[in-house]
């Protein structure tokens, strides 16, 4: 039944323009950001003043910059669950599946979408880098790449995005509104967290903010090029950041399911 719910939610999501806008924006942003680097330094890259980066740079850099994905995930998550309250479609599906399964199917689909976007980012980065090195600068591509680290990267970067999804689903369950769940999600992730991180910069507790967990995990991306980089003291270790992201996700999901099971969805 869970797989059927997943299929139904995918069918519904695939008919929403926001999904395809998100895919297009991520691909375009990745392509343009790398193209800007290669295109804005032609002399330095050609004469060797600036070292020509290898494939590892083309793969890791776009993943490092994918914070742009978070507001889109908040909007998609808020729309997916919030619309069920306004359109009363959840009443129909909850006659055929448990509330926990219904909510987990949405979360699972959003998680798979996030993972797919991470792989899309890697693919676009590799293609753009290959194009510039092969057809513009005519230099052999440097294969300074750890394939195992490359395969692992989309998975742990997806994990750092899951708290945003789970929190938005909790907001949507609590307020029963697409608009307010998105407003709360964006307000916290794009405004409040940035304010807290800026005002209390250097304070120990800011290490546990979502944004800093994401920033901590990005240091693992250096392993794609087999580079060792010293971690700043102001952030958590990548391993602890990933564990914290998982804990946040489970807590928010548990509260969302608990609240969803207690609701009168017909009200």
Yes or no: say if 92 and 21 are a contact pair by the CB < 8 Å rule: no
pLDDT band at 172 (very low <50, low <70, confident <90, very high): very high
Task: Give the whole-angstrom CA distance, residue 58 versus residue 153.
Answer: 13
pLDDT digits (tens, 9 = 90+) for 59-97: 999 999 888 999 999 999 999 887 777 666 655 555 566
Domain ranges of the chain: 2-262
pLDDT band at 206 (very low <50, low <70, confident <90, very high): confident
Q: Where are the alpha helices (DSSP H) in the chain?
A: 2-14, 17-40, 42-47, 55-64, 69-87, 89-93, 99-131, 147-175, 178-186, 193-199, 210-218, 238-262
The model's pTM is 0.90
């Amino acid at each position: 039944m869970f797989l059927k719910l997943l299929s139904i939610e995918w069918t519904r999501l695939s008919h929403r323009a926001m999904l395809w806008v998100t895919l297009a924006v991520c691909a375009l942003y990745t392509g343009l950001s790398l193209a800007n680097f290669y295109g804005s330094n032609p002399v330095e890259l050609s004469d060797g003043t600036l070292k020509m980066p290898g494939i590892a740079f083309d793969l890791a850099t776009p993943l490092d910059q994918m914070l742009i994905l978070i507001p889109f995930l908040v909007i998609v998550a808020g729309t997916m669950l919030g619309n069920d309250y306004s359109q009363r479609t959840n009443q129909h599906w909850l006659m055929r599946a448990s509330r926990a399964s219904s909510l987990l199917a949405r979360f699972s689909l959003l998680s798979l979408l996030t993972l797919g976007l991470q792989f899309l980012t890697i693919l676009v980065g590799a293609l753009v880098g290959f194009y510039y090195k092969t057809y513009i600068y005519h230099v052999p591509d440097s294969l300074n790449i750890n394939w195992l680290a490359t395969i692992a990267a989309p998975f742990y970067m997806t994990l750092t995005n899951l708290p945003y999804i789970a929190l938005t689903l909790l907001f949507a369950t609590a307020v029963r509104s697409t608009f307010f769940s998105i407003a709360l999600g964006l307000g916290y992730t794009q405004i409040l967290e940035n304010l807290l991180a800026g005002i209390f910069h250097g304070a120990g507790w800011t290490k546990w903010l979502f944004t800093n967990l994401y920033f901590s995990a990005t240091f693992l991306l250096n392993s794609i090029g087999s580079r060792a980089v010293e971690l700043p003291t102001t952030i958590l270790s990548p391993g602890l950041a990933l564990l914290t992201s998982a804990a946040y996700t489970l807590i928010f999901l548990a509260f969302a399911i608990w609240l969803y099971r207690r609701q009168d969805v017909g009200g």
